[in-house]
Structure 1
């Protein structure tokens, strides 16, 4: 009885032993990850080292800890950096240029004022959240925050309340798109690493970011009711005076640097997806397990009086009124011929089915 129990338990014991090995295998990569994160945070927060230097140093530390030949450990850091810079670095740099241009030209200020004009002073938190949401797509979050904080302070001076609400509303809008929507660096790097199309990343990111920002706005309201935070003076320097509306660019040109790239990338993704779907609808020789048997079924259906898929195929294929009558009749002859087809004839018939059936209404990939 004991032997039987051992035999029955053996698969479980072996499975447990096998599962222990992956657990040990994953422990060291997680340790390297933790050390890398600790290195970045320690250098930036404690040692006040430049962020770029901290990231490169952490990458070298992780590379040294990772398996591989010692001669390759530093070289692969440079190789990975070059690959990332070539793949997404240009997009990030251009986004930074667009953001800087929006700030210096007053376009960002125009976007904020447009939201405030539309939503009104009573809905200023929504306007600040919406402004942060839009501007954080091409502009880094910290820049957006510093841009909008003077407006939050100005609104507080007018209303005398809701200072925390205004500040958190900016964070709710700006942080969420900065986290989820390319071309900000984080989402762009994730799209590149996970091999996700940037257009899909933008569209899905916006779909997720919009309700998340609204939830953040609700949370900001609750925090404002719970914590009464006074507005404090910022150093001894006077706050910059806002520009007159006449000195700012129009709303159309102010939104163009944000909307145009998003629209172009998303449109490219949609059109590519449609083109891929049309390509997937094409018949291929591999789709037919027995091409001769399929042709025999078409001939049998053609011989009956009842309406059938085979009849629809032959009628559509041989429709002389649609043009190319001679070529169409040749294809009908190949389809209904009782003798076998050679490889060239089979390929010609399949190409004809794709050419004449796919544009016709009523035919699709999973149909006749």
Structure 2
């Protein structure tokens, strides 16, 4: 059984490249370096791996000294960049339901083992949360920048007006380009928060999208459900369990109860189904850790201490012992002989 960190639609790659070019960054050589042919960029359902997308963003930011590239992308994105999910959101009953659509069908355009977006309601607040990708470094800030600014853009495009959020929350510390955020958000921006989120007052999101049609919404929802089912059917039950383990790994190993809850089943059902598959829960945790260890350790942007944290080990010593067992070499030796690939 193998898993990956995830992948993302080339629609986002096109957005990244176009925004870079619009800001004077020459992208031809980078497109060649990343094997982004015209065929690759225009093929329906084509995707690239999450590590490759993040590396592409880092290279473009470095080349153009454009640290706010993610914010620029988020300001340029349109609902059509979400494909069928964007059109579904445009026909929802209200903007709250639109955001739910964007989060619920996120897997149709991107998926990440680290987690998935969700929409929460807290009293009179509606909160769009983008999942944690900590630890943060110079080449993954832009991903959260893009996601949160895009959320604001989607709400404004849906409503046909500038609906100011109540606040914007970033999980990472204020970056060195923090002064630029005021150019992209009219609401207060807070760093070092427990989540990545855009927070709206509920009443602002009770209006309908400007061109919504109820019948069109139902037709599109049927098609989105079909596509999501088809995507999900590609994963075996064991892979579904491993995909839930990944986001829960940070700082400590997840429990069967946590994973069962996320899968929408009682723990005894999860235990029974794993027994039918002849696999043990602790072995799936170990296999998930091993797969992710190979992905993270290849990337020098992560320190080995950060990798240990990402995989939920109690301390770096335990991580290094496990790594030697998995790969028959030390993490440092592995890193010295590998490069980041798909």
Shorter-chain TM-score bucket reads under 0.3
Query: What TM-score comes out, normalization by structure 1 length?
Result: 0.22
- Write 1 or 2 for the structure with the bigger share of helix: 1
Query: What TM-score comes out, normalization by structure 2 length?
Result: 0.24
